[in-house]
Amino acid sequence: MTIEIGILVSIIGVLLAILTFTLNRDKTVKSEASRNAVIETKLDNISQGVESIRIDNRASEQRVRDLSERVVKVEESTKQAHKRLDNFENKGEM
């Protein structure tokens, strides 16, 4: 009888150990899956943010190019205006 109780307690212990292991393994897998989902979501958000920054950067570069062209035109116009003023002053002195 004592051997049967010992065997029964051992079997129950083994079953509890197996049950505990499987339950904890499932929780660990679920925990890792949810953590991976959070990480993937954050990476997607970062990727979208980087893409938004690239678009803004391209727009800024285009604005700088446009302003550079306008500055060149203004400089040419100013140069022509100075030539006309110089001619006007020279005609006035003669």
For residue 63, pLDDT over 90 is answered with: yes
- What is the chain's mean pLDDT, rounded? 87
* Residue found by looking up tokens 């010992």 in the block: 6
User: Residue 94 carries which DSSP code?
Assistant: -
pLDDT band for position 61 (50/70/90)?
very high
| Residue type at 78 in one-letter notation | T
Q: What is the pLDDT of residue 2?
A: 61
* Residue found by looking up tokens 């109780």 in the block: 5
Can you tell me whether residue 1 is helix, strand or coil? coil
The C-alpha angle 69, 72, 78, rounded to 5 degrees, equals 140
How far apart, in whole angstroms, are the C-alpha atoms of residue 68 and residue 59?
14
Our CA dihedral for 31, 32, 34, 37, rounded to 10 degrees, sits at 170
How far apart, in whole angstroms, are the C-alpha atoms of residue 58 and residue 17?
61
Instruction: Quick: pLDDT tens for 69-83.
Output: 999 999 999 999 999
Q: What is the pLDDT of residue 44?
A: 94
Q: What is the pLDDT of residue 19?
A: 83
